[in-house]
Structure 1
Amino acid sequence: MLAVMLGLDRIADFAARRWALAQVEAGARTAAALRVAVLRSEIEKQRSLPFALAQDPDVRRALASQDAGLFLALDQRFEALVARVRAGVIYLIDTGGHTVAASNFNTPESFLNSDYGFRPYFRIALAEGRAEHFAFGTVSRKPGLYLAQRVEDAAGEPLGVLVLKAEFDTLEEEWRHFSEPTFVTDARHIVLIASEPAFRFRTTVPLDAGERKVIRESLQFGDAPLDLIDLSPVPGDPGLKRVRLPGRSKREDFLEASMPVPTTDWTLSVLAPTAATTALAATAARASAALLGVVGLGSAGLWRTRRRRRARAEARQAEARRELEERVAVRTAELSAANAQLRTEMEERRRARLAIDALQDELVQANKLAVLGQIAAGVAHEVNQPVAAIRTFAENSRAFLDRGDAGSAARNLDTIAALTERIGAITGELRAFARKSAAQLEPVRIGAVVDGALLLLRYRLLQNDIALAVVLDAPDARVTGDRVRLEQVFVNLVQNAAEALAGRPGATIRITSETRADTVVVTVADNGPGLSPQVLGALFLPFTTTKPQGLGLGLVISKDIIAECGGSLAVESRAGAVFTITLPRAS
């Protein structure tokens, strides 16, 4: 009995810890993916501004004329821009490497007249047109990503370099609210951004003496020691990367999940603590195993005792009576066990159903956030155009008012109002798409669903030269479903089509609908390469994908959403891929 109890305890502890580590790893990878999306969005938001400012006629005129009044106007303009876009600092450098205009001109840390000719981002941008460089500020004493863009005159000759410094203090502060330490390393394994201040400008892999000397002479990281963070590996499952942090308890280990940051040579790592999860799972499993062992061994002892008593009684009774009593006892025991097993299975199925429903909601939300990371740059460009137009109309209105032309100014203000309504529509659709909420089935217009999805993706289609044809026979037809989740389905299908059409001449996506008596059938078709029979057969199974970076969950989630609405999702491969969505009409 003791051996059985110890064996059950060890097996339960081992199995529970393996299961808990798998759950921690899945959570860490999800957290890393979300934080990569947020970091990439922050970088992309800052990248477009230096390019736009380098084309500004005021910037070119100031560098060409070297007029102090024009430089002062740029100082004030840069100062206002920094406050709006939450950048660290914006400054302008002439071809000699000296700062001639800066957003921090009124601060003690002003960059004006500072010589930055030694900075790599200045030399590279002046020679190649643009540069990105992460470094420690020699004046501000703050680290940041320097985004540099060459300013040229009409003949293409360099006039100087415009630099925007993106700082990540706010992002680091947000990461500190999570229990998982998070940090970002460059190609040399030097920590650039970290939720743990002690990690910054340290390395996860030892640097050789020559490389360390070059980095120090460049002043990229100031006088940082560049010493090694002792992430001690924890022996165990070779498939998982478990480490211990310096200064932490030896019983507390972390599971590391790393992901590359797209468009950079950075890598983001999340260290998920395992102690609490594994301890809780092990305790629950061992308690269950102990209870099972006690019940089993007790039942065995009781059965043995009853058997002995029955044997003595059978000896005093006739053979027929003994056989009858034995059959009744055996049948009773079987029925009791079957009944107990049936109740247990019913309860387990109920709990599994609840867990599946909760997991499905989380998968739907995670899919929406992943899609948001992909379309954020397009939405930013979509909003940037009316913002630029508003600024132009506002400046013209001021000129009209100065000349007393109130009528022209009023017409400009009407145009500005229309542009702000357009921005509101775009941002409102983005907020509604990102909001996490339970599915609510109600009558929705199929035209509104398609328009909402295309509002988020229109810029990406234009950017990739993909034609879009939308032919809805009855845009006002109502179907039963949840609008936000149905938009998520169309975003997934159109994005998949756009990726399949990348780089193909004459690329076209066609969305059509057919309204029937009880249903509305919508098709999303492209003229891409189509799908192979092997992929078609497993397309709606989890983790089936044709994309190198895909997870194979988008179509699974889309099919589940359509099924929740009482409809169906099917696919064919003709002259390209054709997805058919059938939804019930709302009464």
Structure 2
Amino acid sequence: MTSSSTQWRLFGVAWLVIAVAAVALGGEVARRDGKESVRRQATTASALHAAVLRSELERHRSLPTVLAQDPDLVAMLSRRDAASADRLNRKYEGLARDVRAAAIYALDANGLTVAASNWQLPTSFIGSSYRFRPYYHEAMRDGQASFFALGTVSGRPGLYLSRRVDDPAGRPLGVIVAKVEFDALEADWRASGEPTYVTDSDGVVLITTVPGWRFHTTEPLTADRRRRLAADQTAGATVPVPLPFEVGADGLVRIQADVPAGLYAEATDPIADTGWRLNLLVPAGETISRGVMMARLLALLSIALLATLSGIVLRRRQRAAARAVEAERDRLELEHRIDLRTSELRATNDLLSHEIDERRRLETIRQDLQDELIQANKLATLGQIAAGVAHEINQPIAAIRTHADSASLHLKRNDGEAAQRSLASIDGLTQRVGAITDELRAFSRKTRSETVAVGVNAAVDGALLLVGGRLREKGVTLEWNAAPAALAVLAERNRLEQVMLNLLQNAMEALDGVAAPVIGIGVDVKGRTVSIHVTDNGPGVSATVRQRLFTPFTTDKSDGLGLGLVISRDIVAGFGGELTLEPTLSGTRFVIRLAKAR
């Protein structure tokens, strides 16, 4: 008894150490993967935002150049008569409205405003001197200039683009200025939910989705730069101070003010020909924490299953040793006391009955653990496809918003038919979002493997509805030859979808780096057997892994646990079918064989 207790103590300590190590390792791997994932997301979003900003700048950059060649402007700056100035005021007013510029105005050689698009407003620039602004003296000196600052009259931030105006002899007559404001661009960026800001070459924040960061800095400014900011009235009354950021050793940014507190991944893109840099922050804390939690849970469930199986083996060995000792004692006693044989046999029979009950209980526990492992694999799969599903939902939501705006405009124009079409489109898009969320709820629900008639097309389409976004994101071509509409197999809908999702996930990961990735899904019927095959044109399964493919913890992926195919095979076996890997000339081909439902 003492030896048995010692074995169980050592067994418990050993598996406790293994569980702690596995949970720690799984959490660290998931943490590292989560960081890389949010960094990739930040890089992609930053590139898109930078492209939009470059497009906006290019659209306005040529405006002063064109206006500087306007004969009316040259004539007005040469003669300075009221009629010419009035014509330019009206021209600039209409032009500013058409090109969506905040203001267009002309300065004479002394920096005095002589014509402006806001000539009729109380905040008109006419008569104001902007000789102190860099965009005036730099344009007079170099021919052109750009300068970002708060407006001295409007108090609104914007980019001033200027161009010198010369007479036919090449003598400078003045400067034409166009002010561009980025309110609409900031609003679009703000809607994405990712804090974004643009800094100049000195690290001063110019454009930002967080108003409290404007004219703050990424690092302390030199005394000379502070004096220039004050002289140019760049930031108005704002005192430039460093942004409320703390950069950790892992490269993630911790923010405590102005935006939801937490960790953010930062990506930066330079804006060519401006000296500006676009910076974008993506929330990382919740994503990393969720991934770590799921990885630790999966590791803990796996260790618990292995520990249970090992405990069963140890218990059997101990019982075998105990039975051997007992049998020897019974043999010796049988020689001397025949009358005790019956009682000894009865005791042995009671022990065997207890062992049978114990085995049944352990089998029930094993089945429950297997169901939990299948559910954990299902939730882990949902975590992997969550970004793609979110993208699938975001697209119709964005389209719903567009159609809603369109319907509002049509109603204002009394165009009922057009408004009805927009509302019909919204109804269709809402049904699509509902279909995706219904599929997610159904898929994540915990079920037991009870076989019923399941439509093949419905199961495959349900899996594709969840993973379709990732297929399109990775540029994978899907070849899906639908089965006859009435074809059904004996299975359980959600678990069959789980197997299909595991196979599609493996196929997508195998296609990383393939020039023209293709995944094919087909259905064959032979007698009472239905075969569903999933193929890809990837590098295939190595010979070493192929021999032990359906053995737990066998994988050729650097970050894989080697349990997905084992779980999928057990699910299919629970339906009375089989999951196999069939040889192909190239790529990989998995086949699910199930009984055809009557």
Indicate the SS of the match to 1:504: coil
Aligned identity (percent) is 35
Where 1:17 maps in the other structure, the secondary structure is helix
Residue 385 of structure 1: aligned partner: 395
Report the Cα distance in structure 2 between the residues aligned to 1:98 and 1:74, rounded to whole angstroms.
Answer: 19
Runs of at least 5 residues in structure 1 that lack an aligned partner in the other structure:
120-131, 176-181, 184-256, 260-267, 308-323
Q: Match of 1:548, SS?
A: coil
CA distance in 2, matches of 1:384, 1:167: 18
Q: CA deviation at 1:442?
A: 2.8
Q: Which residue of 1 aligns with 2:592?
A: 581
- 2 CA distance for matches of 1:441 and 1:563? 11
Say if 1:402 and 1:46 are closer, same or farther in 2 by CA, change over 3 A.
Answer: farther
Distance 2:281 2:182 in 1: 19
Aligned partner of 1:115: which letter?
T
Show CA shifts across 1:283-325 (max 9, x none).
x9xxx9xxx9xx99x999x999x97xxxxxxxxxxxxxxxx97
CA distance in 2, matches of 1:39, 1:429: 28
- Asked if 1:543 is matched to 2:553, the reply is yes
Q: Which moved more, 1:396-405 or 1:418-427?
A: 396-405
Where does residue 252 of structure 2 map in the other structure?
134
Quote how far apart the aligned CAs of 1:512 are. Answer: 1.4
Amino acid of the structure 2 residue aligned with 1:97 = G
Q: Is the 8 A contact 2:43 2:268 kept in 1?
A: no
Find the counterpart in structure 1 of residue 279 from structure 2. Answer: 163
Match of 2:17 in 1: 21
Give the equivalent residue in structure 1 for 2:49: 53
Separation (CA, whole Å) in 1 of partners of 2:186 and 2:480:
48
1:91–1:99 contact (8 Å) kept in structure 2: yes
Cα deviation per residue 1:5-49 (whole Å; 9 max; x = unaligned)?
A: 655554443333223433454555566677777777766666654
- Matches for 1:207-222 after TM superposition, within 5 Å: none
Alignment of 1:431-442 (within 5 A): 431-442=441-452
Partner of residue 147, structure 1: 266
Paired with 2:297 and 2:351, the residues of 1 have a C-alpha distance of 45
Match of 1:113 in 2: 215
Cα distance change of structure 1 residues 337 and 25 upon mapping to structure 2, 3 Å threshold: farther
CA drift at 1:446: 0.7
Measured against aligned partners, the alpha-carbon deviations of 1:482-539 in whole angstroms (never above 9, x if no partner) come to: 2111111111112222333333344432221123553322122233444455433322
Once the 2 structures are TM-superposed, how far is the Cα of residue 333 of structure 1 from its aligned partner?
A: 6.9
Contact 1:478–1:586 (CA<8 Å) still a contact in 2? yes
The CA deviation at 1:145 is 2.0
Report the counterpart of residue 93 of structure 1 in structure 2.
199
Any idea what SS the aligned residue of 1:525 has? Answer: strand
What TM-score, normalized to structure 1? 0.61
In structure 1, how many angstroms separate the alpha carbons of the residues matched to 2:263 and 2:60?
25
Matched with 1:234 is: none
CA contact (8 A) 2:378 2:498 kept: yes
Task: Mark the CA change 1:346 to 1:518 in structure 2 (over 3 Å): closer, same or farther.
Answer: same
Cα pair distance change 1:501/1:258, threshold 3 Å: closer
Q: Write the mapping of 1:64-463 to structure 2, written as runs, cut at 5 A.
A: 68=157, 70-74=181-185, 81=191, 85=193, 89-105=195-211, 110-116=212-218, 133-137=251-255, 144-150=263-269, 152=271, 156-158=272-274, 160-167=276-283, 326=336, 328=338, 331-332=341-342, 335-336=345-346, 338-463=348-473
Q: Distance in 2 between matches of 1:515 and 1:420?
A: 36
Question: Aligned partners of 1:427 and 1:48: how far apart in 2?
Answer: 26
Is the CA contact (8 Å cut-off) linking 1:445 and 1:478 kept in structure 2? yes
Rounded to whole Å, the distance in 1 between the matches of 2:560 and 2:384 is 12
The structural deviation recorded for 1:406 is: 3.9
CA drift of 1:393 comes to 3.8
Contact 1:364 1:557 in 2 (8 A): yes
For 2:9, the aligned partner's letter is: D
- For 2:563, the equivalent position in structure 1 comes to 553
Displacement after TM superposition at 1:561 (Å): 0.7
- The structure whose Rg is larger is 2
Say if 1:44 and 1:377, in contact at 8 Å, map to a contact too: no
Aligned twin of 1:207: none
Cα displacement (A) at 1:59: 8.5
SS in 1 for 2:218: coil
Matched to 1:578, the amino acid is R
SS of residue in 1 equivalent to 2:252? strand
Q: Structure 1 residues 72 and 99, CA, compared in 2 at 3 Å: closer, same or farther?
A: same
| Structure 2: stretches of 5+ with no match in the other structure | 62-100, 102-147, 149-155, 159-180, 222-249
Length-normalised TM-score, structure 2: 0.60
AA aligned to 2:252 is F
Compared CA separation, residues 171 and 457, structure 1 to 2 (3 A): closer
Letter in 2 for 1:91: Y
The 8 Å contact of residues 436 and 466 in structure 2, kept in 1 or not, is answered as yes
Task: Between 37-46 and 370-379, report the one with greater CA deviation.
Answer: 37-46
**In structure 1, how many angstroms separate the alpha carbons of the residues matched to 2:482 and 2:349?**
56
2:83 is matched with which residue? none
- Specify which of 520, 523, 526 is matched with residue 533 of structure 2: 523
Contact 1:60 1:151 (C-alpha < 8 Å) held by counterparts = no
- What SS is found at the alignment partner of 1:489? helix
Letter in 1 for 2:10: F
Alignment pair present for 1:482 and 2:584: no
The answer for the alignment partner of 1:253 in structure 2 is none
Q: 1:410 to 1:53 in 2, by over 3 A?
A: farther
CA contact (8 A) 1:523 1:581 kept: yes
Opposite residue 217 of structure 2, the aligned amino acid is D
C-alpha contact 2:577 2:592 (8 A) present in aligned 1: yes
User: Please, which moves more after superposition, 432-441 or 563-572?
Assistant: 432-441
Distance 1:431 1:68 in 2: 47
Residue identity in the other structure for 1:586? A
Distance 2:464 2:262 in 1: 39
Give me the whole-angstrom Cα distance separating, in 2, the residues matched to 1:258 and 1:406. 50
d(CA) in 1 for partners of 2:263 and 2:515?
40
SS at match of 1:362: helix
SS state at 2:562 partner: coil
How many angstroms does 1:574 deviate by? 1.9
Alpha carbons of structure 1 residues 11 and 515: separation in structure 2 relative to 1, 3 Å: closer
Report the CA distance shift for 1:339/1:271 in structure 2 as closer, same or farther (over 3 A).
closer
> Which residue in the other structure is 2:574 paired with?
564
